[in-house]
């Protein structure tokens, strides 16, 4: 499978790239500055310059099977990066898996009251942009992953990704390792189970 990774320099995007290579896939890294990108060892990565804020120069994705977006808001980014990314991918005509956040938009409150309070405290105004970007991604046909609080840790062998409507409200604030979320998105890329809807990666 040929997988393009948007946000390949980020913490989740890099793990998606590494794990995709380990699974034997061809990987295309979509990055703002190819000259500064250091691909992971263990396989060849094609690198393409891709800036979502310059959609007129965004590369064609007609030769990939799926795009996994781990696009985030980096330090120094102004507002609108996530919305711009969702618009660009919606127009790209490719199958898209989009990484969002539990507690934004449609999943507000799904992680429990304490979790939502933490999200408001630490994510704040970004929640509104995340919700807007998710809506655009869903409208474009993407499968959206609403990840809980992300930690450092190994891939969970017992991971699953229930639909938001089937996600049981946790007692304690939920979390998952970044590696598990990356693996869950790759699982969905390899074996599609959902269309334009929200999945919640769960590690047990």
pLDDT tens-digit profile of 16-42? 999 999 999 999 999 999 999 998 887
Whether pLDDT at 76 is above 70: no
Global confidence as pTM: 0.96
Whether pLDDT at 78 is above 70: no
The pLDDT of residue 198: 98
| Residue % of the chain over a pLDDT of 70 | 99
pLDDT tens-digit profile of 102-124? 999 999 999 999 999 999 998 88
Whether pLDDT at 74 is above 90: no
Structural domains in the chain, sorted by start: 2-199 (3.40.50.720)
Helix (H) or strand (E) holding 151: strand 149-151
Whether pLDDT at 96 is above 90: yes
DSSP string of 66-130, one letter each residue: EEEE-----TT--TTHHHHHHHHHHTTTS-EEEEEETTSGGGTTTT-HHHHHHHHHHTTTHHHHH
Buried b or exposed e, range 121-137, using 16+ CB within 10 angstroms: eebeebbebbbbbbbbb
Helix (H) or strand (E) holding 17: helix 11-22
Whether pLDDT at 172 is above 70: yes
Question: Rounded mean pLDDT of the chain?
Answer: 94
């Amino acid at each position: 499978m040929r997988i393009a990774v948007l946000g390949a320099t980020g913490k989740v995007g890099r793990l998606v790239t590494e794990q995709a290579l380990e699974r034997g896939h061809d990987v295309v890294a979509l990055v703002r500055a190819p000259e500064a990108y250091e691909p992971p060892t263990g396989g060849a990565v094609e690198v393409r310059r891709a800036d979502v804020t310059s959609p007129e120069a965004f590369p064609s994705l007609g030769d990939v099977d799926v795009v996994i977006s781990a696009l985030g808001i980096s330090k120094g980014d102004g507002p609108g990066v996530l919305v711009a990314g969702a618009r660009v991918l919606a127009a790209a005509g490719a199958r898209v898996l989009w990484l969002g956040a539990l507690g934004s938009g449609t999943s507000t409150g799904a992680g429990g009251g304490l979790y939502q309070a933490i999200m408001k405290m630490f994510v704040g105004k970004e929640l509104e942009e995340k919700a807007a970007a998710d809506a655009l991604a869903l409208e474009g046909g993407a499968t959206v992953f609403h990840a809980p609080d992300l930690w450092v840790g190994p891939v969970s062998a017992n991971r699953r990704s229930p639909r938001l409507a089937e996600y049981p409200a946790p007692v304690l604030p939920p979390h998952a390792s970044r590696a598990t979320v990356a693996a869950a998105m790759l699982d969905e890329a390899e074996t599609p189970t959902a269309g334009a809807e929200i999945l919640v990666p769960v590690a047990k």
